[in-house]
Amino acid sequence: MNSRVWVLKSALLAMAVFLLICFPRRGAAAPRPASNSVVINLKAPTTPFPHYWERMFGSGRAVLAMRASYLRDLREVKQATGFDYVRFHGILNHGVGVFHLNAQGQPVYNFSYVDQIYDGLLARGVRPFVELSFMPPALSATPVVHQSFWYHPVVSPPKSWALWDELIQHLARHLIARYGIAEVSKWYFEVWNEPNLDFWAGDPKQATYFDLYDHTARALKEVSPLLRVGGPATAQSAWVPAFLDHVAKDHVPVDFVSTHIYGEDPPKNVFGADEKIPITKMVCMAASKVHKEVKDSPLPNLPIFYTEYNATFHLPRLGIEVTFVDGTDAEEIAAAVAFLASEPARYITGAVLQPHVDALPSLSRSQDSRQGHDVVAGYTCAIARRCRHRADLVPCRGYFRSIAGICPIQGKRVGVGPTRRSGN
């Protein structure tokens, strides 16, 4: 067959299939979804409904907070949820310009962009959950190692611990001078991000990260004992027992434990065994593990902050549908975990507000208990929440980003996004 004729026939066939799919015959009605009934017993005992989606969101890197679109989103999500804190990478990145060395090799500090970033948050009623990362290039040991995010943050250890300590102290003093210790003492300072992955180039990773943590925590506490610091900010819920043993043994200041988990994290890395753990169970199982590790540690009363979590960290899979757990385990974990980081609705999809964020204002107006719920055909779900003088039925088909991972409601939902391990 003539190749041009074959190409033409193939194109016509493809066009015909396209037209049949996109423009079906008028007589072919789409099947109507089956109707379901949801029965709520308003006299049944209530169960806890902690509003952990109102605590903290995660959102990319620090310089994004100087964008008008970011600040608009921040205000809208704040109005919807009343959330308290936001966490992002890279307050020490080169683009923020906090540190360089002059011609004489002396440190020069510039916190003008830091001020713009934090001023914008505070003006909208949101406090920073400060992730102290990454390494200013002028302070990096050689060779300079860059992480794989498209903006390539420097993840090398400092070339001088004295210079690092001075940077942390200058930053802390500047923040206190600008905002007052009464304000900054309500913030949290998390040392680095996921040092067990390629975000930290120290060798060996754990021992050198502990050095980084020790220097940072002690530098902050020298400025004020009221500043709150914690770690290890690990991926895959790793290093928590070793970290707590280390800080207890060496009397290093620590005010909280932070770590991360994603549904697709390898079970061997999280639990040390080749188990088959479905994505629907990973987040809650990892949170239970860390809760027990802290409880069994020399510092059993430290709060636990999951500063990143999600069903997936693979951007091509953000459209997957995931069913999350319900019941006692979820409620117990939610009570045990102080903060869960989520992500405002627009940061993945641009200017289009996600439909599922419409549920946020409704849920945030609810009290801290729920009347009951019913899972309908494993596909849609609803809860009856107590709101002042009445009970409302809240459907959650589609759901929303800011409650993910550990969920006190069971149901199938589309879109998973509170945080993601990606460079934006």
Catalytic residues: 194, 308
191 and 218 Cβ atoms separated by less than 8 Å: no
203 and 277 Cβ atoms separated by less than 8 Å: no
Indicate if the alpha-carbon torsion angle 78, 83, 84, 85 is positive or negative. Answer: negative
- Of residues 83, 70, 164, the one with CA closest to residue 117: 70
Strands 369-376 and 321-323: unpaired
Three-point CA angle 150, 165, 155, nearest 5°: 20
Q: How far apart are CA 128 and CA 76, in angstroms?
A: 17
Q: How far apart are CA 134 and CA 145, in angstroms?
A: 11
- Of residues 311, 338, 278, the one with CA closest to residue 421: 311
DSSP 41-86: -TTSPPEE---GGGTEEEEEEGGGGGSHHHHHHHHHHHHHH---EE
